[in-house]
Homo-oligomer: A and B are copies of this chain.
Amino acid sequence: MKFRYPEKVLQSQSSLIREVAQRGKTIHGFLSFAMGNPARESIPVGLIEECVTEVFKEDPMAVLQYGPMAGDAELTKWVTERVINAKGAKREDNHAMVLTGSGKALGLLPRTLCGEGDEAFCDAFTFPNSFHSMRNVGATPIGIPMDDDGMIPDALEKEAKRGKGKYIYLIPNFQNPTGMTMPLQRRKELYEVASRYDLVIYEDDPYGDIRFSGKEIPSIKSIDTEDRVLYVGSFSKTLSAGLRVGFLYGPDDLVNKISKVKSADGQDPIFNQKIIYRCLQKMDYEEHLKKISGIYGRKCGLMADTLKANCPDCCKILVPEGGMFIWVDLPEDADIDKISEETIAGGVGVVKSEAFAVDSTNKGHGFRLNFSASEDEDIVKGSERFGKLLQKYF
């Protein structure tokens, strides 16, 4: 039969990120900086194995039968306390929900807040699933121009004035793909615009706990006097990406509605949540974060130094204070598509800015490089390769 899809589903949204990784598989000696996998050595494999065994043995039926729709109560409580204590969130009129990966919230918020024809705002270059999810519900994502501090408040206001917007998606710490961290002043300014136009703020913070330089900046949630911020976090970068455990913390009313939408999808696996909770009980999580931030910082430094030594001077290398990505900005007239093809053929996988562009007519002129997933030796080799290739152009 010929299926009659709604317009929202017919829009193309292939992943250029996975495409680079896939194409690299056919190239001998290919070094990929494309995917955002956590550093292998930062995953506490032995501890997780212990927890897997213990959780199963202690009460097999608790993991094998249907569980509570709301997720594991102990982990939910742990998350609540941490978001309050470590991220400065207030306790009153807000609550937490555990999710199968923080990415699930990318779909849940627009499903809860947006009808067809609504708009939602995000950085002009950002994590693609954030705007794919907006499109999936028939809402229009509007990419807002950025400067060195992130989304530009005046540019946001210009779009918000139309009155069709429902929420703003932001990654204030070590943004994906640019690695940029938003200063407190900018966070406050954007909050004011949100307040003026009655917008929810989706504060996505998957990388926030991996800071290896600079000083921590208060979360937007911590300045959320009007209960308009949904703070979303993850254990994917700090404990295990494959177990898929993330969470959100936000205003009671909003979280209750999200929960209602979510419950029609059925339950999430409770085993994974219990494994993560057990890990948190058995480890010093804050110490663990310091340790892995050290690993990430060293890898970042290695890539940054190699890029600086090998890239032409006209390239702007954005070295982040945390997270897992370095952004290399090329001159505006650079032929990004051609360079991208040549890097892949030349055996190094970097992702061109187009992969993160909300607006396909504004493809940008940069590349995202992941430094967490590769071994030191490959970081150096691949960065050299990339830098030398760029030298041919500039």
Q: Is A118 close to B, CB under 8 A? A: yes
Could you tell me if B49 and A57 are in contact, using CB atoms closer than 8 angstroms?
Answer: yes
Q: Are B264 and A129 in contact (CB under 8 A)?
A: yes
Residues of A within 8 A of B (CB): 1-9, 13, 15, 18, 35-38, 40, 43, 45, 48-49, 52-53, 56-57, 60-67, 69, 100-104, 106-107, 111-116, 118, 129, 132-133, 136-138, 166, 195, 198, 200, 226-228, 236, 240-244, 251, 253-254, 257, 260-261, 263-272
**A157 nearest CB across to chain B (Å):** 17
Asked if residues A228 and B129 are in contact (CB atoms below 8 Å), the reply is: no
Instruction: Indicate whether A45 sits within 8 Å of B60 (C-beta atoms), given known contacts A100-B268, A113-B3, A269-B272.
Output: yes
Interchain CB contact under 8 A, A37 and B9: no
A331→B3 CA distance, assembly (Å):
43
Task: Quote the shortest CB–CB distance from A163 to chain B (angstroms).
Answer: 10
Give the distance in Å from the alpha carbon of A43 to the alpha carbon of B102 in the complex: 30
- Check A260 against B13 for contact (C-beta < 8 Å): yes
A38 neighbours in B (Cβ, 8 Å): 65
Tell whether, in the assembled complex, residue A267 and residue B103 are in contact, meaning their CB atoms are under 8 Å apart: yes
A64 engages B43 (CB within 8 Å): yes
Smallest distance from the beta carbon of A95 to chain B beta carbons, Å? 15
- Central interface residue in A13, A57, A111, A257, by most chain B CB within 10 Å: A111
